[in-house]
Amino acid sequence: MTLLSELTRTAVAERAPDAVAVVPVGACEQHGPHLPLGTDLMVAEHVAVATAARLAGEIDVVVAPSVAVGYSPHHVPIGATLTAGVGTLLAQLRDTCAGLAAAGFRRIFLLNGHGGNAELVVVAAREAGQALRVRVGAGSYWVMAWTELVAAGAQDRGRLPGHAGAFETSLALALRPDLVVDPPHRPGTAFARNPAGYFGRYHVEEPDAMAAGDGFSDDPSAGTADDGRRYLVAVVTAVAAGLRKFARA
């Protein structure tokens, strides 16, 4: 059993000191006209649970309840978006870490699935680790798995990670094809990304960029379920390696 919400308090007390608690962090925001609002959270939760299963018998990973609403003000003008403010999200992440520490967990990892949260989960981990005197890590799954995703061809069809483009559409088709509705076609998008991470060497905020693109970054119709399954294998492999290192350091 890997879900914190399914454990008794006795089981938590027994397992927490030697386990890694993983907190999936997502968003509830528009993902173009074709993907569900919870795409980021859906992927983060899947990766967390699949990674826990991959590490079973080696490292005890307990998946905590998710933080479902992230920092998404750049999507609000398009519609169908919930967002937390910077302070609100940081407070929720800190409080979640505090509760896990109080329950006995000494190692906590914030597994992020949404670009808008990328810097904030790191800040939250730093603050929580110092305040709680426990080991707290944070990472966005596509950054943790960048090399593996590039090797799996994730930059060949669309931006990595992009937003609601070929990459995320592939993931959604692999996980919940029933929730994907007629991905639109947008050819000719440039795909290159800096392998150093999501924002590359610096970040420039373009307030209207997402709305100008109808809420998606590149060609969603280029996504396939087969691609998505391959990407998920790459992500789980990389995240498992990251958590293995985190747990043993």
- Return the domain boundaries, the chain: 4-198+206-248
Is residue 37 within 8 Å of 28, Cβ to Cβ?
A: yes
Three-state DSSP class for residue 138: strand
Q: Give the pLDDT confidence of 148-176 residue by residue, as tens digits.
A: 999 999 999 899 999 999 999 999 999 99
For residue 185, report the phi and psi dihedrals to the nearest 5 degrees: -105, 125
Contacts of 83 (CB under 8 A, 6+ apart): 29, 69, 70, 71, 72, 73, 75, 76
The structural architecture, per CATH, of the domain 4-198+206-248 is: 3-Layer(aba) Sandwich (3.40)
Residue 164 tokens read as 């609601």
pLDDT tens digits along 29-72: 999 999 999 999 999 999 999 999 999 999 999 999 999 999 99
**In angstroms, rounded to a whole number, what is the distance separating the alpha carbons of residues 240 and 168?**
20
> Mean of the pLDDT values across residues 121-144?
98
pTM for the predicted model, two decimal places: 0.96
Euclidean distance between CA atoms 66 and 92, whole angstroms: 11
**Is the pLDDT assigned to residue 195 strictly greater than 60?**
no
